[in-house]
Amino acid sequence: MHTIHTLGGNTMTALSLQQQLAESIYIALGTAFEAGQLGQLTQLSPRPSIVVEKPKVSEHGDYATPVAMSLAKPCRLAPLTIAEAIASHLTGDKIAVEVAKPGFINLRLGHRFVAAELQRILELKGDYGRTVPEQPERILLEFVSANPTGPLHLGHGRWAAIGSSLERILQFAGYTVDSEFYINDAGNQMQLLGLSLKQRYLQALGEAVELPDGSYKGSYLKELAEQLAAAQGDSLRGEPVEWFSAYAEGRLLAQQKITLQQFRTDFDRWYSERSLHQAGAIEAALADLEARGMLYRATCSRQEQNGEITGRSKKAQAPHAFDEEDGGGEALFFKAADFGDEMDRVVKRADGNTTYLAADIAYHWDKYQRGYGRLINIWGADHHGYVPRMKAVAQALGHPADSLEILIGQMVRLFKTNPETGQKEEMRMSKRRGELVSIDDLIEEVGVDAGRWFLLSQSLNTTVNFDLDLAQSEKFDNPVFYVQYNHARCCSILRKAPERGMPIPERFEFLRPDGSAWLETPQERALALRLLAAPDEYRFAAIDRAPQRLTQFAYDLASDVSQFYEHCPILPPLAEDLQPALRYARLGLVVATRQVLATTLTLLGIEPRESM
């Protein structure tokens, strides 16, 4: 029987604190139920959801549950009565329980409990905070997935930071996760890339050639072309466009890989779209859909036929503009509308070429074939309109709609103070002119740590307003600096302790012989409680797919460290009047704190620096 008495110090359980508390409350609930204290409530299954949360006000306890209020109706009892009944079965010497006004049950962690949990951190070290999911899953996380047509820009940087952190966070929460980059290396854009490079190459040879319309105008292609001209002279003049495509792709993809690696974003697989074509996966996936009755041939979609398409953009209002080119023949449609998309989508054009969607169908078909039960994609908001048709694909292939999870992230805007006006100005990025701020630029300007931090610290559905000045700041107004500084500060204390006559012991003791706590100041307690909340923070970051919870947590933790440091001296001479046992208990708290800060930063892909 798992009672409140056995809480804490149990290194075998992978339960977070809130899970442990919820478990205890559930058991107390069962006891109350069996004792007939829950009124009209007829059964305890399905198990009622037990919310355990950290109250905003400390008077309401370290943790609290409103479970009695949600049970009031089925029990037909006053919430207070229910709360009293549950609370009466929660008594123990490790946690103080009290019932408050409307029907809250407030829990206060006792010294022994806190001390035991601190010991657990010291024992588990970097594994503290690992949890086990309710449902184990094999997840494929796909992100960035750019065209190999140029340097990765700031937007890609956001997906890289979030994807790579999320991968670590999900793994720490017990999921099996693989990460993948889908290389969009097929289609006419590669043709255009080759053409652009060839023209640049000819320009570099001194020829007056115009770049074709819509070509890639970024300076990186010019540099590539000049390198080619310098190394090969005019010997490549006769090479076909395809040669230039392949060359450009090879160079640009290699550069993207280097950039991402520098940005601490590693992929388990780089998956080439072209390889799907070569392996016949597109035909295989379409054959699968065909066999399921999900395809049909027509000159236009069923919805257009029936006049069901209203409210479209100008482009979409003229769906047959292509007829002139392709002779108005029949295309192959996928019945996306059967699964919630607004209309059916073309997978094979009238001219016989497959569409981008067809390749994406094949890619996701292949992901499922490889045995992943959950697919998570991170896309920019500019692709959100694509979500319904991909969800339709998942369902048409026989998978639940929610097995494909598409996280839509808003865009990144960059701000910098103009030295002339002193005003913050947006650095406008223009894709047309090839002027995008690249991840390489970002790394050069602010470094990987600050770059990642600011791209991670906002919720996915908020636009990031990236403040370059703030990210460069080496003062406490810069949160990443503040967090790293406080980690380094812990390291410094641990480094100096032996020099000041306090060698680091094997074990720390947090309780006095009489069972009371050495750590009893508000700062010590706040810090310790923050550490105990870490596993829940990691867990929620995984469940909510929300790395920004951890930047927030890291900051709050650093703030607790800072206050602890100000008020609780440890090393002589500053602390020489204090009892050694107290100083050692504080030192133990520093060891645990450093560990949790380091774990949190590692999950974010930010370096826990030992010195600044």
> Binding to RNA (CB under 7 A): which residues in 505-534?
none
Binding of RNA at residue 392 (CB under 7 A)?
A: no
Token pair of 73 as six digits: 């109706």
Task: Kindly indicate which of the ranges 29-37, 39-47, 368-376, 541-549 contains the residues binding RNA, using the contact rule CB under 7 A.
Answer: 541-549
Q: Name the DSSP letter for residue 546.
A: -
Sites for RNA among residues 345-364 (CB under 7 A) = 345-346, 349-351, 353, 355-357
The reply on whether position 565 binds RNA by CB under 7 A is yes
| Pairing, β 374-380 against β 404-409 | parallel
List the one residue from 241, 381, 511, 578 that touches RNA (CB under 7 A): 381
Q: Say whether residue 479 binds RNA (CB under 7 A).
A: yes
Which listed range, 20-28, 216-224, 493-501, 507-515, lies at the site for RNA (CB under 7 A)?
493-501
- Choose the binding region for RNA from 156-164, 261-269, 503-511, 544-552 (rule: CB under 7 A): 544-552
- Of residues 187 through 206, those in contact with RNA by CB under 7 A are 187-189
Distance CA 406, CA 390 (A): 9
Q: Tell whether residue 593 is a contact of RNA (CB under 7 A).
A: no
Within a 10 A sphere around the Cβ of 321, how many other Cβ atoms?
9
CA angle 472, 478, 483 (to 5 degrees): 120
Q: Which is nearer to RNA, 99 or 229 (CB)?
A: 99
Q: List alpha helices for 149-280, DSSP H.
A: 154-172, 188-204, 219-232, 241-262, 273-278
- Nearer to RNA (CB atom), residue 385 or residue 580: 385
Separation CA 204–CA 229 (nearest Å): 6
- Name the residue nearer to RNA (CB basis): 230 or 321: 321
**Of 194, 247, 202, 210, residue with least CA distance to 226:** 202
Tokens of 136: 């184990």
- DSSP for 111-172, written as a single string: HHHHHHHHHHHHHHGGGTT----SS--EEEEE-----SSS--BHHHHHHHHHHHHHHHHHHH
The piece of 117-125, 198-206, 381-389, 443-451 that touches RNA (CB under 7 A) is: 381-389
CB of 242 to RNA, least distance (A): 16
Residues in region 58-117 near RNA by CB under 7 A? 59-61, 64, 66, 69-70, 72-73, 100-102, 104, 106
CA 482 to CA 598: how far, in whole Å? Answer: 14
Query: Rounded to whole angstroms, how far apart are CA atoms 321 and 325?
Result: 8
Helix intervals (H) in 370-438: 387-396
Q: How far is the CB of 310 from RNA (least distance, A)?
A: 6
Taking residues 325 to 344 in sequence order and writing x for each that binds RNA by CB under 7 A, - otherwise, the string is -x-xxxx----------x--
Please say which residue, 228 or 333, places its beta carbon nearer to RNA. 333
Report the C-alpha gap between 127 and 145 in whole angstroms.
31
Beta strand 424-426 with 138-142 is unpaired
Upper half-sphere CA count for residue 401 (Cβ side, 13 Å): 10
- Contact in structure between 175 and 134 (CB atoms under 8 Å): no
Chain residues 39-58 in contact with RNA, contact rule CB under 7 A? 51, 53-57
Q: Is 313 in the site for RNA (CB under 7 A)?
A: yes
Q: Of 87 and 204, which CB lies nearer to RNA in the complex structure? A: 87
Residue with tokens 């006891």, as numbered in its chain: 31
Which of 87, 491 has the CB closer to RNA?
491
Q: What does the per-residue mask of binding to RNA show for 254-293, with x meaning CB under 7 A?
A: -------------------x--------------------
Q: Judged by CB under 7 A, how many residues of this single chain contact RNA?
A: 106
Nearer to RNA, 229 or 608 (CB): 608
- CA–CA distance, 62 with 227 (Å, rounded to integer): 64
Q: Which of 3, 215, 299, 403 touches RNA by CB under 7 A?
A: 299
Interface stretch with RNA, choices 284-292, 440-448, 507-515, 554-562 (CB under 7 A)? 554-562
Tokens linked to 375: 């697919």
Amino acid found at 208: A
Among 91, 305, 462, 516, binds RNA (CB under 7 A): 462
Is 248 a binder of RNA (CB under 7 A)? no
Q: Nearest approach, Cβ of 303 to RNA (angstroms)?
A: 10
In angstroms, what is the minimal distance from the CB of 489 to RNA? 5
> Could you give phi then psi for residue 439, rounded to 5 degrees?
-65, -35
| Tokens matching residue 109 | 């962690």
Q: Which of 32, 281, 300, 554 binds RNA (CB under 7 A)?
A: 300
Q: Shortest CA distance to 548 belongs to which of 428, 407, 440, 439?
A: 407
- The footprint of RNA on residues 118-177 (CB under 7 A) is 147
Alpha carbon 329 to its chain centroid, in Å, reads 45
467 binds RNA (CB under 7 A): yes
Near RNA by CB under 7 A: residue from 240, 476, 498, 576:
476
Cβ distance to RNA smaller for residue 204 or 331: 331
Contacts of residue 237, defined as CB under 8 A and 6 or more positions apart, other chains included, come to 202, 205
Q: How far is the CB of 609 from RNA (least distance, A)?
A: 8
Interface pick for RNA out of 37, 256, 458, 593 (rule CB under 7 A): 458
Query: From CA 331, how far away is CA 346, in angstroms rounded?
Result: 7
Q: Find the shortest distance in angstroms from Cβ 346 to RNA.
A: 3
Question: In whole angstroms, what is the distance from residue 95 CA to residue 108 CA?
Answer: 6
Closer residue to RNA (CB): 51 or 124: 51
96, 110 Cβ separation under 8 angstroms? yes
Of 396 and 561, CB closest to RNA: 561
